[in-house]
Amino acid sequence: MKGLSVSPSKHWYPTAQFQSNPTRKPHNRIFNTNALQFTDINFPSKRPLLSSFSINPSKTLDPITQDHPNPPLVVVGSANADIYVEIDRLPKEGETISAKHGQTLAGGKGANQAVCSSKLAYPTYFVGQVGEDAHGKLITDALKGGGVHLDRLSTVSSAPTGHAVVMLQSDGQNSIIIVGGANMRWPETLSDQDLEIVRNAGIVLLQREIPDSVNIQVAKAANKAGVRVILDAGGMDPPIPLELLNFLDILSPNESELARLTRMPTESFYHIAQAVAKCHEMGVKQVLVKLGAKGSALFMEGEEPIRQPIIPASRVLDTTGAGDTFTAAFAVALVEGMSKRECLRFAAAAASLCVQVKGAIPSMPDRKSVLNLLKSC
């Protein structure tokens, strides 16, 4: 990105690495999850920046068995240091209470979704920004550990790494306050290198913890290249610009975000359907609503909604990363070719596993665990 120093990609990846070498013909790398082997196949491409990937999953575990080249999932978004405080209840106005425990973990909706996608064995790029501080290193290390490709992760000197205060109550519910930091200091115009990664993606995930102007540039570039775009509505309070909505394939809010976006009630499924209809009027063709304990629903304009109940968790410790896990898992299933109903079920299984572990990034499940859960229910 213009005016920013880009972190070098010298780390080891647990998935095959993308290479950009103009003197060599790009390859299609097929990853066999059983044998842990890579097979290089000559694969001519009109997009030399990135090599195409195909996940070749086990036919005994995975419902997706088609061996076809898939371009990467690209997340453009936020990276935060999540400062967790565990409390019995939220403080009242003017009240000071003691926390039972506190710790700082890597998070942010963008980073969460990138790690989740990568842990689900899909090649993933993250485009984002951190500051030149310890929190930036914490996040970078967590992304590397999750196998995310960081060629377009930038370090800025003009702002600290974004952070969030997560107030986690004993029932697993949370309240979060975000400080944007480096997430809000993007250049006015994105570099062509950033947009080229977007244009070569199989699907792009966005959130509202970075400036709308960045999301608009990314969504516009993706739309022009025929790349699907999902916007997670979580983040900033202001209305979503209509220009951004027009470039989306799927908008994914939870109930409260849907109510805030449409200024309509969302207490019942009927109310939710009415609010979604308003989104359709605003130009969004598909709306994926996360309903918490009531599951999820995908609304497609002119069609009956598809409803998915939750897959019950044996325990609920932390719901912080559940929405990001759900959105990322849905995107992975979608780009791999699952039906919409199968995408919802795959995402529900991933979210069910997520809430059983404390922390956002630490709670992201791996692919084998998700598939095993789907087999058992």
212 Cβ contact partners less than 8 Å away, ≥ 6 residues apart: 236, 238, 240, 241, 244
Element (H, E) at 353: helix 340-354
Contacts of 359 (CB under 8 A, 6+ apart): 82, 84, 105, 107, 318, 320, 321
The phi and psi torsions of 115 (rounded to 5 degrees) equal -65, -40
**CA angle in degrees (0–180, nearest 5) for 330-1-321:** 30
Give the whole-angstrom CA distance, residue 59 versus residue 234: 35
Determine the Cα angle at 121 with ends 115 and 125, to 5°: 50
Q: Reply yes or no on whether 324 is catalytic.
A: yes
User: Helical H runs in 120-251?
Assistant: 134-145, 192-199, 212-224, 242-245
Please identify which of the residues 82, 232, 318, 324 carries the catalytic annotation: 324
Question: What are the CA-CA distances from residue 42 to residues 17, 54, 124 (Å)?
Answer: 16, 13, 22
- 3-state SS, residue 308: strand
Residue 94 region, left (φ>0) first, then alpha (ψ -120 to 50), else beta? Answer: left
CA 32 to chain centre: 24
Q: 252 — phi, psi (to 5°)? A: -125, 90
* Distance of alpha carbon 88 from alpha carbon 133, whole angstroms: 31
Q: What count of residues does the chain have? A: 377
Q: How far is CA 99 from each of CA 168, 179, 315, 321, 359, rounded to the nearest angstrom? A: 10, 20, 22, 21, 16
CA distance 279 to 86: 36
The residues that are catalytic are 324
